[in-house]
Amino acid sequence: MPPRKNDDYMEVASDDSLPSDVDEVYNGKSKGKGKGKATERKTREKGKSKNNEQPYAWEASYVRSWDTVQEDEAGSLQGAVEDLIARNRRRRLLAPSTAIRRTIIRHLVLVLDLSSSMMDRDMRPTRFDLMLEYARSFISEWFDQNPLGQIGIVGMRSGIAERIGEMSGNPQDVLKTISERHKLEPAGDPSLQNAVEMARGSMSHLPTHSSREIIIIFGSLTTVDPGNIHDTLDACVKDRIRIAVVALAAEMKICRDLCDKTGGSFGVALNDGHFKDLLFELIPPPAQRAVSRAAGAGAGTSNPTADLMMMGFPTRLPNTSAPALCVCHSDLKSEGFLCPRCSAKLCDVPTDCDICGLMIVSSPHLARSYHHLFPVKPYSAVVDGAKVSPSNACTGCSSSFSKSSASSTITDGVSPFGRYKCPDCKNDFCTDCDVFVHDVVHCCPGCGK
Amino acid sequence: MEKQEIEPSSHLSVIIDLSPTQWHLASLQNNNELQPQSSQQVLTFRSFITQTLAFLNSHLALKHENTLAVYGALPGKSVLLYSPTVPKSETEDISADANSYLPFKVLDNAVTTRIGEELDALRDEDEEAPCDLVGALTKSLCYINKLLTSTPATLDATTPPPEPRIVIMSVSPDQSASYIPLMNSIFSAQKLKVTIDVCKVFGPDAVFLQQAAYLTGGAYIYLERRDALLQHLMMTFLPPPSIRRLLVVPTQDKVDFRAACFCHKTIVDIGFVCSVCLSSTSPSKSVQFVSQKLMAYLLQFVQFSVNLSQSVQPVGTSIFLW
Where exactly are the structural domains of chain A?
Answer: 102-280, 311-362, 377-449
Nearest CA among B64, B83, B85 for reference residue B9: B64
* Residue B96 shares a structural domain with residue B34: yes
Across the interface, do A306 and B259 touch by the CB < 8 Å criterion? Answer: no
* Confidence at residue B138, expressed as pLDDT on a 0 to 100 scale: 92
Instruction: Give the CATH architecture of domain A377-449.
Output: 2-Layer Sandwich (3.30)
Confidence of residue B291 (pLDDT cuts 50, 70, 90): very low
Q: Which residues of chain B does A209 touch, with a Cβ-Cβ cutoff of 8 Å?
A: 275-276
Across the interface, do A366 and B319 touch by the CB < 8 Å criterion? Answer: yes
Across B162-191, average pLDDT: 87
Out of A105, A313, A440, whose CB is closest to B271?
A313
The span from the CA of A61 to the CA of A72, in Å, is: 25
Out of B150, B271, B278, whose CB is closest to A104?
B278
| CA dihedral sign, ordered B280, B281, B282, B284 | negative
In order, the DSSP letters of A352-414 are E-TTT--EE--HHHHHHTHHHHSPPPPPEE---GGG--S--B-TTT-PBPPSS-S-SS--TT-
Across the interface, do A318 and B254 touch by the CB < 8 Å criterion? Answer: yes
* Confidence at residue A385, expressed as pLDDT on a 0 to 100 scale: 67
Task: State which residue of chain B sits closest to A349, comparing Cα positions.
Answer: B257
* Residue B225 shares a structural domain with residue B288: no
Residue B273: its H or E element: strand B270-274
* Residue B274 shares a structural domain with residue B253: no
Across the interface, do A441 and B271 touch by the CB < 8 Å criterion? Answer: no
Does residue B135 sit within a domain? yes
The span from the CA of A340 to the CA of A359, in Å, is: 10
Task: State which residue of chain B sits closest to A209, comparing Cα positions.
Answer: B275
The distance of B17 to chain A (nearest Cα, Å) reads: 16
pLDDT of residue B153 exceeding 80 = no
Residue with the bigger pLDDT between B128 and B21: it is B21
* Confidence at residue A254, expressed as pLDDT on a 0 to 100 scale: 93
The span from the CA of A430 to the CA of A381, in Å, is: 10
* Residue B230 shares a structural domain with residue B313: no
Chain A / chain B CB contacts < 8 angstroms: 182
Task: State which residue of chain B sits closest to A358, comparing Cα positions.
Answer: B270
Q: Which residues of chain B does A361 touch, with a Cβ-Cβ cutoff of 8 Å?
A: 273
Q: Which residues of chain B does A363 touch, with a Cβ-Cβ cutoff of 8 Å?
A: 257-259, 317, 319
Q: How many domains does chain B have?
A: 2
pLDDT of residue B36 exceeding 90 = no
Burial A207-227 (b: 16+ CB within 10 A, else e): eebbbbbbbbbbbbeebbbee
- The answer to whether B90 faces chain A, any CB pair under 8 Å, is no
- The answer to whether B187 faces chain A, any CB pair under 8 Å, is yes
Task: State which residue of chain B sits closest to A301, comparing Cα positions.
Answer: B295
Among B residues 230-259, those touching chain A with beta carbons less than 8 Å apart: 251, 253-255, 257-259
Across B160-189, average pLDDT: 86
* Confidence at residue B88, expressed as pLDDT on a 0 to 100 scale: 57
Q: Which residues of chain B does A320 touch, with a Cβ-Cβ cutoff of 8 Å?
A: 253
Across the interface, do B134 and A448 touch by the CB < 8 Å criterion? Answer: yes
Tens-place pLDDT, residues B97-138: 778 888 888 889 889 998 999 888 888 777 778 888 999 999
* Residue B245 shares a structural domain with residue B311: no
- The answer to whether A117 faces chain B, any CB pair under 8 Å, is no
* Residue B269 shares a structural domain with residue B171: no
The distance of A78 to chain B (nearest Cα, Å) reads: 14
- The answer to whether A293 faces chain B, any CB pair under 8 Å, is no
Among B residues 263-302, those touching chain A with beta carbons less than 8 Å apart: 268-278, 280-281, 283, 287, 291, 294-296, 298-299, 301-302
Below-50 pLDDT ranges, chain A: 1-51, 290-303
Least confident stretch, A270-279, B111-120, B171-180, B246-255: B246-255
The per-residue pLDDT of chain B, averaged, comes to 75
* Residue B27 shares a structural domain with residue B175: yes
Final residue in a domain of this structure, among B218, B237, B257: B257
* Confidence at residue A7, expressed as pLDDT on a 0 to 100 scale: 43
Does residue B67 sit within a domain? yes
Percent of chain B residues topping a pLDDT of 90: 18
A103 CB-near residues (< 8 Å, 6+ apart): A210, A211, A285, A286, A287, A288
Parallel/antiparallel/unpaired status of strands A428-429 and A420-421? antiparallel
* Confidence at residue A198, expressed as pLDDT on a 0 to 100 scale: 94
* Residue B230 shares a structural domain with residue B287: no
* Confidence at residue B84, expressed as pLDDT on a 0 to 100 scale: 82
Stated pTM of the model: 0.74
| CA dihedral sign, ordered A301, A303, A304, A308 | negative
State the ipTM, two decimals: 0.77
Among A residues 197-236, those touching chain B with beta carbons less than 8 Å apart: 209-210
Angle of CA points A424, A425, A431, to nearest 5°: 95
Out of A310, A394, A448, whose CB is closest to B132?
A448
For residue B168, give its domain range: 10-257
The distance of A353 to chain B (nearest Cα, Å) reads: 13
Out of A306, A310, A368, whose CB is closest to B295?
A306
Tens-place pLDDT, residues B212-233: 888 888 888 888 888 889 998 9
What 3-state DSSP class applies to B159? coil
Interface test with B, best of A150, A308, A399, A449 (most B CBs within 10 A): A308
The span from the CA of A428 to the CA of A230, in Å, is: 53
The span from the CA of A147 to the CA of A363, in Å, is: 11
Nearest CA among B81, B144, B122 for reference residue A396: B144
* Confidence at residue A76, expressed as pLDDT on a 0 to 100 scale: 63
Question: Across the beta sheet with B267-268, what order do the strands follow?
Answer: B267-268, B259-260, B317-318
Does residue B212 sit within a domain? yes
Least confident stretch, A253-257, B83-87, B268-272: B83-87
Residue with the bigger pLDDT between B210 and B297: it is B210
Final residue in a domain of this structure, among B257, B273, B305: B257
The span from the CA of A134 to the CA of B162, in Å, is: 28
Burial of B264 (0-12, 13-18, 19+ CB in 10 A): middle
Parallel/antiparallel/unpaired status of strands B67-74 and A332-333? unpaired
* Residue B132 shares a structural domain with residue B279: no
Task: State which residue of chain B sits closest to A106, comparing Cα positions.
Answer: B275
Across the interface, do B273 and A366 touch by the CB < 8 Å criterion? Answer: yes
Q: Which residues of chain A does B266 touch, with a Cβ-Cβ cutoff of 8 Å?
A: none
Q: Which CATH class is domain A102-280?
A: alpha beta
* Residue B252 shares a structural domain with residue B268: no
In order, the DSSP letters of B49-75 are HHHHHHHHHHHHHH-TT-EEEEEEEEB
Residue B293: its H or E element: helix B287-299
Confidence of residue B174 (pLDDT cuts 50, 70, 90): confident
pLDDT of residue B266 exceeding 60 = yes
Final residue in a domain of this structure, among B241, B257, B273: B257
Across the interface, do A443 and B138 touch by the CB < 8 Å criterion? Answer: yes
Task: State which residue of chain A sits closest to B215, comparing Cα positions.
Answer: A364
Among A residues 73-102, those touching chain B with beta carbons less than 8 Å apart: 98-99, 101
Out of B139, B295, B306, whose CB is closest to A449?
B306
- The answer to whether A397 faces chain B, any CB pair under 8 Å, is yes
Does residue B34 sit within a domain? yes
* Residue B120 shares a structural domain with residue B265: no
* Residue B239 shares a structural domain with residue B315: no
- The answer to whether A244 touches A280, Cβ cutoff 8 Å, is no
Task: State which residue of chain A sits closest to B276, comparing Cα positions.
Answer: A306
Alpha helices (H) along A169-241? 171-177, 192-202, 229-238
